[in-house]
Chain A
């Protein structure tokens, strides 16, 4: 199957060429001008030109292939990258003076000559020459300018016809499988939460008041006060001294981060969205550096069991990279979901998180849900912003300020 859709536009002279050639050959038979053979030759020559051009237009794309491999480029705003394609002409027909025209999302700037076509789409052009049986790497440098996903929306190759009488436009039928992820900026916030209380959980730690009784990893000598059900009888029999099982100490230190992207009383994205996303990015980075697991809920709709953006609980570098990717994918031109469904889900899982962070607009109904979470031993913190400074207040302080 051909990769390109072909559109041929020839100017009037090209069609006139065929007509003139036909006239010349026709009149040469009657000897009207008395120069039979010359007319015949010119007519045949013009026909040959016409025919070669026709063959060129017909076959130029027959063995032309764009190697459209999946590529995902990740970078931060302000960084530069390079988009690469391979164009291969498997046939013998060359392309001279062709132009590669690409439209792409405007959150990247391609080359120096790219220009805006509409609000979110830009265009870039590149000169292209390709001989027959040749493969060429096309590299287009770009600079990431704004958080988001940038994709090549269309790619076409404009080839002048062989004798310059028209233009062949080859438009790629399939999607270009290149994706550029521009991560959000990371905006530092003041985190004054106190990690003083902990919950029983699943994370093994050296110091905790909680123990997991089923994960025994050794024994030690019995000490007065050790419960009877902790005595390791086999070990005791072997050593002839009472032995107590040593079990793992565990706690729960994970965070639940809830991001409300909506404005108050409206389904539209808040105009502070970039700032909020940058703050979430900072929280993710901070948690990753401290080895704290975290879960992220954003009220942007998606299909699936959980109907909004959700990064399940996890930790480490891969988890951080995944979180940044999800944040990069929040499209402010798209739809938002109700934060209540997000909060209801958060409440159902909130018990397992000792800390909850809320970012975005806070409505009165949310506070009641957060209060219920606090009643189960969870600490809720709400984001505040003033004079370019961002910080978190505990739910109690937030409510006092709101009053």
Chain B
């Protein structure tokens, strides 16, 4: 299966449920191909949870959801050993993280300790419960949602180490007028909302990932990526710039972006497009910077500062 065809099929399937936000769907697929995790952020009522559930359904795999609240404990996420009186022995009961698609709804409502229980599973695709390690089957993706306008009472900001493990952070915008009209019409006429059907398997996923890794990155583009990352570490308004994990994520995301456009090479515009999505949330702004700009605006400044390589040195 070709990557661009796969993206089209998935978009069509998800389009049955989600009207608009096509870019967001594409970017989530980008993360999925790269075995990355996505943090979805937007004001309430824009369809974050519905989108996450729809993506999960298009994958022929298991789907679990955790509704985070302040009293969710790390063991509620990872799992526990429980005593089985019938068998007279302890048995392992794995938590909801052992799945293919994990929807971590309203992740910023959990305490930092509970949020941190996802660290191992997100990075190493395994979970350790009482010294017993459980491997998680691929594909595995965490789709976490959070609401930016939440009052601080009862919410906990995600720690930087946790944010760094998200491949990209996406902000879902309000739909356009015509899209919103279609949403209204769909909800007026349909009694039962359609559900997307599974259209790709774990094998498809592996094949796509391998194809994406073959997309060529020229030296000029490689330097461009490095320049962007280095500039984030030197900007006066940035306290902590993008990590090497961020560099790798940016490289992988641009490869997938090129493959989705049916290209076998990466262009600087791919980097320009993906950098704000992949790097912004990994940067910690200074106190002064945070009062004047948000991470996306600073990322925009960084992209303006860095020289874009000319086209002839990009193509193979």
Contacts and interface: CB of A to CB of B under 8 A. Distances in A.
Interface of A: 74-75, 183, 204, 214-217, 234, 237-238, 248, 285, 288-289, 293, 312-321, 324
Q: Taking each of A248, A285, A313, A317, which has the highest tally of chain B beta carbons within 10 Å of its own beta carbon?
A: A317
Contacts of B291: 74, 183, 317, 320-321, 324
B287 A217 contact: no
18 contacts: A74-B291, A74-B292, A204-B113, A215-B71, A215-B73, A215-B111, A234-B83, A248-B113, A285-B287, A288-B287, A289-B287, A312-B153, A315-B152, A319-B152, A320-B287, A320-B291, A321-B290, A321-B291
B292 A317 contact: no
A1 to B, nearest CB: 16
Interface of B is mostly: mixed
Interface of B: 71, 73-74, 81-83, 90, 111-113, 151-153, 157, 285, 287, 290-293
A318 B151 CA distance: 11
Contacts of B112: 204
Contact of B290 (A183, A293, A312, A320): A320
Given A74-B291, A312-B152, A317-B291, 5 more contacts: A74-B293, A237-B83, A285-B287, A293-B152, A320-B291
B285 A317 contact: yes
Given A214-B71, A217-B73, A312-B151, A318 B290 contact: yes
Contacts of A183: 291
B81 A317 contact: no
Contacts of A317: 285, 287, 290-291
Contacts of B287: 285, 288-289, 317, 320
Contacts of A324: 291
Contact of A75 (B74, B90, B285, B292): B292
A237 B81 CA distance: 12
A189 B153 CA distance: 28
A313 B153 contact: yes
A74 B298 CA distance: 13
A285 B286 CA distance: 12
Contact of A217 (B74, B90, B153, B285): B74
Contacts of B73: 215-217
Q: Taking each of A217, A313, A314, which has the highest tally of chain B beta carbons within 10 Å of its own beta carbon?
A: A217
A312 to B, nearest CB: 6
A216 B154 CA distance: 18
Contacts of A288: 287
Nearest to A312: B151
B129 to A, nearest CB: 12
Please provide the 8 A-B residue pairs with the shortest distance between their CB atoms, ordered closest to farther. Answer: A314-B152, A317-B290, A321-B291, A74-B292, A238-B90, A324-B291, A321-B290, A217-B113
A324 B291 CA distance: 8
A214 B71 CA distance: 9
A384 B81 CA distance: 59
B313 to A, nearest CB: 31
Contacts of B90: 238
Given A214-B71, A217-B73, A321-B290, A238 B152 contact: no
Contacts of B151: 312, 314
B128 to A, nearest CB: 14
Nearest to B148: A318
A214 B69 CA distance: 14
A346 to B, nearest CB: 17
A316 B81 CA distance: 37
B157 A316 contact: yes
Contacts of B290: 317-318, 320-321
A238 B113 contact: no
B105 to A, nearest CB: 21
A238 B130 CA distance: 11
Contacts of A319: 152
A183 B293 CA distance: 13
Contacts of A318: 290
Q: Taking each of A183, A248, A318, which has the highest tally of chain B beta carbons within 10 Å of its own beta carbon?
A: A318
Nearest to B74: A217
Contacts of B83: 234, 237-238
B81 to A, nearest CB: 7
Contacts of B111: 204, 215
A75 B90 CA distance: 60
Contacts of A75: 292
Contacts of B113: 204, 217, 248
A315 B153 CA distance: 10
Contacts of A238: 81, 83, 90
Nearest to B82: A234
Nearest to B130: A238
Contacts of A204: 111-113
A312 B112 CA distance: 21
B47 to A, nearest CB: 23
A293 B292 CA distance: 21
A320 B288 CA distance: 10
Contacts of A312: 151-153
